[in-house]
Structure 1
Amino acid sequence: MGNKIKIILADDEELFRKGIYFLLQREPNFEIIFEASNGEELIHHLQNTSQLPDIIMMDLKMPLLNGVEATKLIHKDFPAIRIIALTSYNTKSFIANMIKVGAASYLVKNASPVDMVKTVNEVAQKGFYYNEAIMEVVHQNMIANNSSKTILDEDFLTEREKEVLELICKQYSSAEIGEMLSLSTRTVDGHRNNLLIKTESKNVAGLVIFAIQNKIISLDNSTDTI
């Protein structure tokens, strides 16, 4: 097996955390490298470790420093780490808030083990994973907050950048996009970086929100491969 996906679990409910630990540890390509019982412990570990994770599975409701605040700090200081928000609350405002602060995905605690494993793999490979329900919330939130706001003029993005952006929103990886457009993975990554800079997005999830907000893709387009 190639490089394993390094994961940190942050949840103050030990029984739940151990349950996730045993489920994920069974996957040959996953490695749990640390467990934290609150946000402070997690941040302290990240600041002092030589081995940063690829993904943090973050409970939102933790003592001392909750998951939302911890996500903001990690997103600022460790932007390469991808955060999957874990919560019992499947409310739209919660989802919208977590996406806003930089979560790469959102997993409700009653999700199935299969869903959880899929989410981790998708986030590791593509940088984010939003299922249909989450995309619907993003879409509604954008309409509510930005009914008429678009910042695009004709030349803001090149045709190639728009093509790459649409395929990113359909949750294809750089390698898959390269194959579809007959480009090298490196070239696709270059386009993606340009898109991040032009749109002032912090991560791929931000690109999806930008694309919906500016009507580059419709919700139907963005979910047909999920």
Structure 2
Amino acid sequence: MMKYSVVVVDDHNLLSQAIGGLVEGFEEFSVLYTCKNGQELLDKINDTKKIPDIVLMDVNMPILNGIETTQQLYKDYPDIKVLALSIEEDEKTILKMLRAGAKGYLMKDVKKSELEKALLEVMEKGFYHTNTVTKVLVDSLSDSEENKIVFKEREMIFIKYACTEMTYREIAEKMFLSTKTVEGYRDAVFEKLKLRNRTGLVIYAIKNKIFIP
């Protein structure tokens, strides 16, 4: 059976090895390699082209931290899914990591079963958000910011479709547009809301009654 490949990025060697050992014990995952910081990860990907499916990313690291590394990965390797694994509980840090492109945020004292569940959901659904992270995302959309946001009619239609399980290609067919045009609406909406993923968009749409599940 093909396994999803995982890279662990953490500046503490023993912890990195321990996390890697846990991941190796999961049936559907294997560790591709480990790195001490974000720069080492980027160098290894660029040099070897050994591109992982998921990166378990620490936040506070020397040379290149988790937020900066995630931003670079989101730009250069958008198919790589980043799952933050940190001791940082600060809401601003969590939000920065999610806005950088992380698909989820876990604490390092997470149970083994939840780590496995998070990895699976990131691969299957594209994200994994705990109750804490969901609250951070909701709280980040302050009323003062929301009142300033104006969407075009086509953007509103896109938002409603994006809150379903349809792919962007399927949304494009529904809207009688090209996939590229729909992706343009996505980028415009994400920019207005300062978001990096559909989860945040769904939360915003439900909270503002744009979409009713």
TM range (shorter): 0.7 to 0.9
**2:197 equivalent to 1:206:** yes
Q: Distance in 1 between matches of 2:144 and 2:44?
A: 37
The answer to whether the 8 Å contact 1:90/1:108 transfers is yes
Cα gap change, 1:46/1:219 in structure 2, threshold over 3 Å: closer, same or farther?
A: farther
Percentage of pairs with the same residue: 25
Matched residue, 1:93 = 92
Q: 1:60 is matched with which residue?
A: 59
**One-letter code aligned to 1:197:** G
Are residues 1:197 and 2:184 paired? yes
Note the 1:39-188 alignment, pairs <5 A.
39-143=38-142, 146-158=145-157, 161-167=158-164, 177=165, 187=170
Aligned length: 203
C-alpha RMSD over aligned residues: 3.0
Shift of 1:205: 4.7
Measure how far apart 1:157 and its partner are: 3.8
Aligned equivalents of 2:156, 2:141: Cα separation in 1 = 20
Which 5+ residue runs of structure 2 have no aligned equivalent? Answer: none
Q: Which amino acid is 2:186 matched to?
A: T
Question: One-letter code of the match for 2:198?
Answer: L
**Contact 2:85–2:108, Cα closer than 8 Å, also in 1:** yes
Q: Could you state the TM-score of these two structures normalised by the residue count of structure 2?
A: 0.82
The answer as to whether partners of 2:37 and 2:65 remain within 8 angstroms in 1 is: yes
CA distance in 2: counterparts of 1:10 and 1:207, whole angstroms = 25
Residues 155 and 65 of structure 1, relative CA distance in 2, 3 Å threshold:
closer
Q: How far 1:143 sits from its partner (Å)?
A: 1.2
